[in-house]
Structure 1
Amino acid sequence: MDKMAHKYTQILVAIDGSNGAEVALKRAIESVKHNQGVKLDILRVLDLNSLEYGGAGIALDGERIYKIEQANEDYLLKLKERLLKNNEIDSDKINVHLRFGNPKVVILDFQKEYQNDLIIVGSTGKNFIERLVVGSVASYIIRNADCDVLMARTNFQKKE
């Protein structure tokens, strides 16, 4: 990424625990390490309507939502500490954010609010049927973002 014609300064990567998100995060970290003046926003969006949290008609009460929020905030802070330490990056170069809602909507709203000029997304972890039913967040972001979007592929191998 350090040889791109356009100089990006504010990168957004949304993480969800998938392999694709991990690849996107690695690409974003490399960009921050190798390009002066680049800052990274790491965003985790919790969709409480998804099967991951509710599902099967299980209602989430305020206490469970609070515990989910605290666990994710702790995760993000530890992730930031680990990324800073392992990559020798200044603490002001990475910010972590937690939001609730539909990831498709929240990511695009976040990008506008924080004026990110590049979003790095991971390739979807969904199978063909899941993409047909609910759609891929990554494909939605690519179609609707107001800035450049880079798709980080899990099976990409750099040729020397």
Structure 2
Amino acid sequence: MTSRYKNILVAVDGSKNAEKAFLEAIELSKEHEAHLYIAYVVNEVEVTHSAYAYSKLLAEEQAHVEKVLLEKVKHAKEVGLREVTPLTQIGNVKRVLTKTIPEQYPIDLLIVGATGKGAIQRVTVGSTAAYVVNQAPCNVLVVK
């Protein structure tokens, strides 16, 4: 028996695996005629521990994120998806993906890349993908 996903969330961060996850999310959204949510979470740890002024760095990061999400939404719609929602959050990436967004939206599949941009943090804190697999309230697809 296969599930029929209606609301798919994909996390993007500019990494190679996140891009693969995004492409997989598009295909699954088309196949299931699902609403695609594209989340870009600005890691609050990286922003608050920067040598730059917090407000300046945050403004630059938000501009970058908005540009990335606009491109992702455009691509998704060009390949035929009708329902695409970009989501931008600032916070703990793991918590936002497994708690904050699923509490606000009826996500039934979460797609993440096996590794993201935070290689140093992955060594010290643990893999975001592993955390998501263990804590998400829905099915998770990890893309390599």
Tell whether the structures are fold-level matches, with TM greater than 0.5.
yes
Matched, 1:62 2:59: no
Distance 1:40 1:128, change over 3 A: closer
Give me the whole-angstrom Cα distance separating, in 1, the residues matched to 2:118 and 2:104.
32
Letter paired with 2:64:
A
- Unpaired runs of 5+ residues, structure 1, are 154-160
Aligned with residue 150 of structure 1, among 131, 141, 144 = 141
Between 1:136-145 and 1:71-80, the stretch displaced more is 71-80
Corresponding position of 2:89 = 99
Corresponding position of 1:12 = 9
Letter paired with 1:62:
S
Q: Give 1 or 2: higher helix fraction.
A: 2
Corresponding position of 1:49 = 45
- Unpaired runs of 5+ residues, structure 2, are none
For the 8 Å contact 2:14–2:117, the answer to whether it is kept is no
After superposition, the CA RMSD in angstroms is: 2.3
For the 8 Å contact 2:113–2:142, the answer to whether it is kept is yes
Deviation at 1:126, TM superposition (A): 7.3
Aligned with residue 25 of structure 2, among 24, 28, 33 = 28
Deviation at 1:9, TM superposition (A): 0.5
Secondary structure of 1:49's counterpart equals helix
Give me the whole-angstrom Cα distance separating, in 2, the residues matched to 1:113 and 1:152.
24
Q: Please, what TM-score do these two structures have when normalized by structure 2?
A: 0.86
Matched, 1:116 2:107: yes
For the 8 Å contact 2:15–2:117, the answer to whether it is kept is no
Give me the whole-angstrom Cα distance separating, in 2, the residues matched to 1:61 and 1:97.
21
Which structure would you say has the larger Rg?
Answer: 1
Corresponding position of 2:68 = 75
Q: Deviations over 1:49-68 (max 9, x none)?
A: 22xx465x514332332232
Aligned with residue 89 of structure 1, among 81, 89, 99 = 81
Runs ≥4 in structure 1, deviation > 3 angstroms?
125-132
Secondary structure of 2:4's counterpart equals coil
**Aligned residues with identical type, % of pairs:** 32
